[in-house]
Amino acid sequence: MPQRCLHVNPSRPPPQIAPQTGEEFTLAPGQEAAMQGTGLIVSLTGVPDDQRCPLKIECAVSGPVTVTIEIAISPVFDFVD
C-alpha cells in the first residue's frame, strides 16, 4: 500500500493559518488553523493511512485517506464582546 509523505521539518512546524468560518482550507501534518472569530484551533495531527492514487499517475480507482485531527478551544480567546 503506497504511502505519501509531505516533507515537513519536525523542528519547525508549518505556519498557523486563520481561515474564516465556512472557508475551505488545507492543512499539512502538524499545522494548525485558528478559525477566525470562534476561538477554535483545528490541527492535523496525522495521516495514518493514504490509499489515494499517486501524483502524476492515472488510476481507475482511488482509495480512501484517513486523517486524525484535534479540535481545541484557544485558552486566550475572549468569548465576551
CA distance 66 to 71: 16
Residue 39 has a CB neighbour count (10 Å cut-off) of 15
Q: Which three cell numbers stand for residue 11?
A: 523542528
What pLDDT band is residue 68 in, cutting at 50, 70 and 90? Answer: very high
CA distance 30 to 54: 22
Q: Which three cell numbers stand for residue 50?
A: 493514504
- Residue-wise pLDDT for 8-39, tens only, equals 555 677 899 999 999 999 999 999 999 999 99
Q: What's the whole-number average pLDDT of the chain?
A: 86
- The larger pLDDT score, comparing residue 28 to residue 74, is at 28
- What are the boundaries of each domain within the chain? 32-73
Predicted local confidence at residue 2, as pLDDT: 46
Q: Is the pLDDT of residue 79 over 70?
A: no
CA distance 12 to 57: 31
* Residues with Cβ within 8 Å of residue 80, at least 6 apart in sequence: none
